[in-house]
RNA sequence: GACUCUAUCGUCCAGCGGUUAGGACACCGCCCUUUCACGGCGGAUACACGGGUUCGAAUCCCGUUAGAGUCGCCA
């Protein structure tokens, strides 16, 4: 029987890193074993479902590169993939339970009568765990249907996993205590339970289970915050799982090859934004310029930077790519390359341009640069160093004023690369502008 | 409270009876250097506690403590 896994989120309008990792692990396991990864929307609580809430889930998964084989947008032979559209199926299974006499009515609700036995769960991650379900006080009969006819999670979740022929249920450990109840339902419905794999939780900084309140942990936050999807996927894969050889920089393809349920640990993890940030920088540093441009373009367009053509943009991106840590930083880092109306950072100007002799250096450098025939990084470097030597001062005396003059700021790409990208005319003009602005 | 799970640097991850307890992020030095990064070198920091088992325990067992999860007409 081929592997079938699923991600079954509720459309809360929010996809956090914990849910994303659950989706990732299910996707990895299915892909690794040549099986199917299914997306099912658990929207039984119709009151809060909105179109936007659904699309947050789709966008998040698409962004991470987790394509589903069956589900919304994809179709499949086991649909519909929205629980809100599966009422007839639930009615059918409820009838099965009724025929067996294991459900009863209580204040308008329908409850499932527990067999009151010990249930042993064989979990692929947690091992064998037994639950004594005999005490009705501590383990009350679960409600499976509300008085208004709507269904409760435990029941529809189990019914759908049966109907959709899931072989493996990989989900957060917060469901471990629910599992014996689910197993009772599988038994009552005459179905064999799937293999369970409960993965450790991802905790917030208080050490508690992640919730909607932890806004910084939403995938939307990472998308808008300028993270590369490959970096985030890599990072979250390392929460609870590892290749066991201390490697950390892994592509989704490599992870897919190495991934096993056996290598998932049991310990809950706190999400470490610092490390995710670092990994993102590593990805931006090492990815191709094409990929960098692709990821960065939405941010540049949003900022309204008039870069003209892609041919003009690429060199600018090339020089900031090794420096930025967030894609969302790129507009700020390249903005001054595409306008003559750039602002001078007061502190930078104070230090580099208002300094005694700074404008003289600028004038000397302008004269020297004016003679440069081949406007390239190495030629400019040679010329600047030569000029510094002639004047008997350290190269920094020229470098800092030049940097601030052409960019308005003290921090940026390598000076010579920046000068090369700007081109001779603009650099000389900017020297003039700086001189005019600070000579008073 | 009951049940279940967990317990190695601040954080993430190795370790699965014998290691100077390893790697990464963060932190602190130094180097590189035109800024900021990157990179390189070095440093500080961990086996929760108590009992066993064993020649030998971070590793196996029991207990304690601590944390988390579940116990819904949320999913």
Nearest of A237, A224, A197 to residue A59 by alpha carbon:
A224
Residue A5: pLDDT band (50, 70, 90) is very high
Out of A77-91, A95-109, A199-213, A402-416, least confident range: A199-213
Given this model, what pLDDT does residue A335 score? 94
Q: How many CB atoms lie within 10 A of CB A343?
A: 11
A280, A314, A338 - which closes a domain: A338
Instruction: Name the residues in A101-140 having a C-beta closer than 7 Å to nucleic acid strand B.
Output: 107-109, 126-127, 129-132, 135, 138-140
Same domain as A187, residue A156: yes
Using alpha carbons, select from A230, A208, A204 the residue that is nearest to residue A218: A204
- The total of other beta-carbon atoms located within 10 Å of residue A329's CB is 16
Query: What string of DSSP letters covers A295-339?
Result: HHHHHHHHHT-----HHHHHHHHHHHTTT-SSGGGHHHHHGGGG-
Is A245 inside a domain boundary?
no
CA pair distance A239, A241, nearest whole angstrom: 6
User: What average pLDDT does this structure show over A260-268?
Assistant: 96
Residue A405 maps to which CATH number?
A: 1.10.10.350
**In this structure, are A191 and A110 located in the same domain?**
yes
Final residue of a structural domain among A149, A179, A199: A199
Per-residue confidence (pLDDT) for residue A129, from 0 to 100: 95
Residue A149 Cβ < 7 Å to strand B? no
Does residue A287 come out as left (phi exceeding 0), alpha (psi in the -120 to 50 range) or beta? beta
Is the CB of A345 less than 7 A from some atom of nucleic acid strand B?
no
Prediction ipTM score: 0.95
User: Which tens digits make up the pLDDT trace of A205-253?
Assistant: 889 998 888 878 999 999 999 999 999 999 999 999 999 999 999 999 9
Closest alpha carbon to A112 in A120, A121, A103, A100: A103
Q: Does residue A174 lie within 7 Å of nucleic acid chain B, judged by its CB? A: yes
Strand B, nucleotides covered by protein (CB < 7 Å): 1-8, 10-15, 22-26, 34-39, 67-75
Residue A308 within any structural domain of the chain: yes
Nucleotide nearest to A203 (CA to C1'): B68
- Nearest residue: Cα versus C1' of B68: A208
CA of A147 to C1' of B52 (A): 56
Residue A343: C-alpha distances to residues A355, A363, A410, A411 (Å): 18, 20, 12, 13
Query: Is A228 a domain residue?
Result: no
Residue A181, strand partner residues: none
* Closest residue to B15 measured CA to C1′: A244
Question: What is the tally of structural domains in chain A?
Answer: 3
A334 and A355, same domain (yes or no): no
Q: What pLDDT, on a 0 to 100 scale, did the predictor assign at position A324?
A: 94
CATH of the domain at A146: 3.40.50.620
Helix (H, G, I), strand (E, B) or coil at A226: coil
| Residue A76: per-residue pLDDT | 92
Residue A440 banded pLDDT, cuts 50, 70, 90:
low
Write a three-state SS string for A370-401. Answer: HCCCCCCHHHHHHHHHHHHHHHCCCCHHHHHH
Per-residue flag: A177 CB under 7 A of strand B:
yes
Q: Identify whether residues A164 and A193 lie together within a single domain.
A: yes
Q: Strand B contacts (CB < 7 A) among A residues 3-32?
A: 8-10
Would A49 be classed as within a structural domain?
A: no
Q: Which of A92, A208, A212, A302 is catalytic?
A: A212
CA of A139 to C1' of B2 (A): 9
- Residues A333 and A378 placed together within one structural domain of the fold: no
pLDDT of residue A46: 61
Does residue A10 have a pLDDT over 70? yes
Mean pLDDT of A190-206: 95
The reply to whether A414 and A372 lie within a common domain is yes
* A107 closest-nt by C1' vs CA: B73
Residue A141 to residues A90, A109, A194, A266, A340: CA-CA distances in angstroms? 19, 11, 22, 29, 72
Which nucleotide lies at the shortest CA–C1' distance from A323? B37
Within-domain flag for A15: no
Find the angle CA(A107)-CA(A113)-CA(A114) to the nearest 5 degrees.
140
Which one of A297, A318, A338 terminates a domain?
Answer: A338
- Cβ A347 to strand B below 7 Å: no
Q: Do A142 and A163 share a structural domain? A: yes
User: Domain holding A309: CATH number?
Assistant: 1.10.8
Query: What's the CA–C1' distance between A187 and B4, in Å?
Result: 21
Which SS3 state, helix, strand or coil, does residue A148 take?
coil
CA to C1' distance (Å), from A268 to B11: 12
What is the per-residue pLDDT for A353? 87
Summary mean pLDDT of chain A: 94
Tokens 């000579």 -> residue: A439
Distance (Å) of CA A147 to CA A46, A139, A185, A252: 15, 21, 20, 46
User: pLDDT tens digits, residue range A302-346?
Assistant: 999 999 899 999 999 999 999 999 999 999 999 999 999 999 999
Is residue A183 located within the same domain as residue A90?
yes
- Kindly report, residue by residue over A420-431, the tens digit of the pLDDT: 999 999 999 999
Query: Do A360 and A330 share a structural domain?
Result: no
Residues A141 and A193 in one domain: yes
Q: Is residue A402 part of a domain?
A: yes
Report the nucleotide nearest the CA of residue A172, measured to C1': B69
Domain that holds residue A120: 86-199
What proportion of chain A, given as a percentage, has pLDDT over 90? Answer: 88
Judgement on whether residues A332 and A364 belong to the same structural domain of the protein: no
A277 in any annotated domain: no
A304 and A390 housed in the same domain: no
How many Å from the CA of A125 to C1' of B18?
29
**Which chain A residues 388-427 have CB under 7 A to strand B?**
395-396, 399-400, 403, 410-417
Catalytic (active site) residue A321: no
Give the pLDDT band (50/70/90) at residue A70: very high
- Is residue A131 assigned to a domain? yes
Strands (E), A258-306: 269-270
In this model, does residue A48 exceed pLDDT 70?
no
pLDDT digits (tens, 9 = 90+) for A354-410: 888 889 999 999 999 999 989 999 999 999 999 999 998 899 999 999 999 999 999
């Amino acid at each position: 029987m081929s592997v079938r896994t699923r991600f079954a989120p509720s459309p809360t309008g929010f996809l956090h890193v914990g849910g994303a990792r659950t989706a990732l692990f299910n996707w990895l396991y299915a892909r690794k074993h040549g099986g199917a990864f299914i997306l099912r929307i658990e929207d039984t609580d119709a009151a809060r479902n909105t179109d936007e809430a659904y699309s947050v889930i789709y966008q998040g998964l698409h962004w991470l590169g987790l394509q589903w084989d069956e589900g919304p947008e994809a179709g499949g032979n086991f649909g519909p993939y929205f629980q809100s559209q599966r009422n007839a199926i639930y009615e059918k299974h409820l009838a099965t339970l009724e025929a067996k006499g294991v459900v009863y009515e209580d204040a308008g609700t329908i409850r499932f009568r527990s067999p009151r036995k010990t249930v042993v769960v064989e979990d692929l991650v947690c091992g064998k765990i037994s639950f004594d379900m005999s005490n009705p006080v501590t383990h009350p009969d679960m409600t499976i249907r509300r008085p208004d006819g709507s269904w409760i999670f435990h029941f529809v979740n189990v019914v759908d996993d049966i109907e959709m022929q899931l072989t493996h249920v990989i989900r957060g450990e917060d469901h471990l205590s629910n599992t014996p109840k689910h197993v009772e339902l599988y038994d009552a419905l005459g179905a064999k339970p799937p293999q369970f794999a409960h993965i450790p939780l991802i905790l917030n900084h208080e050490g508690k289970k992640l919730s909607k309140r932890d806004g910084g942990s939403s995938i939307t936050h990472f998308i808008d915050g300028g993270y590369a999807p490959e970096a985030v996927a890599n990072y979250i894969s390392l929460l609870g799982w590892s290749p066991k050889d201390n490697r950390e920089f892994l592509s989704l393809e490599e992870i897919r090859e190495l991934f096993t349920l056996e290598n998932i640990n049991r310990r809950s993890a706190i999400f470490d934004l610092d490390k995710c940030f670092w990994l993102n920088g590593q990805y931006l540093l090492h990815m191709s310029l094409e990929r960098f441009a692709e990821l960065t373009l939405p941010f540049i367009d949003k900022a309204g930077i008039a870069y003209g053509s892609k041919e003009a943009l690429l060199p600018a991106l090339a020089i900031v790519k090794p420096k930025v840590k967030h894609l969302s930083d790129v507009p700020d880092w390249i903005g001054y390359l595409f306008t003559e109306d750039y602002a001078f950072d007061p502190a930078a100007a104070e230090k580099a341009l208002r300094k005694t002799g700074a404008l003289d250096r600028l004038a000397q450098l302008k004269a020297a640069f004016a003679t440069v025939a081949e406007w390239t990084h190495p030629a400019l470097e040679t010329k600047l160093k030569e000029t510094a030597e002639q004047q008997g001062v350290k190269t920094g005396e020229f470098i800092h004023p030049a940097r601030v003059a052409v960019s308005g700021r003290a921090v940026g790409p390598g000076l010579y690369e920046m000068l090369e990208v700007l081109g001779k005319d603009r650099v000389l003009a900017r020297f003039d502008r700086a001189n005019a602005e600070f000579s008073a």
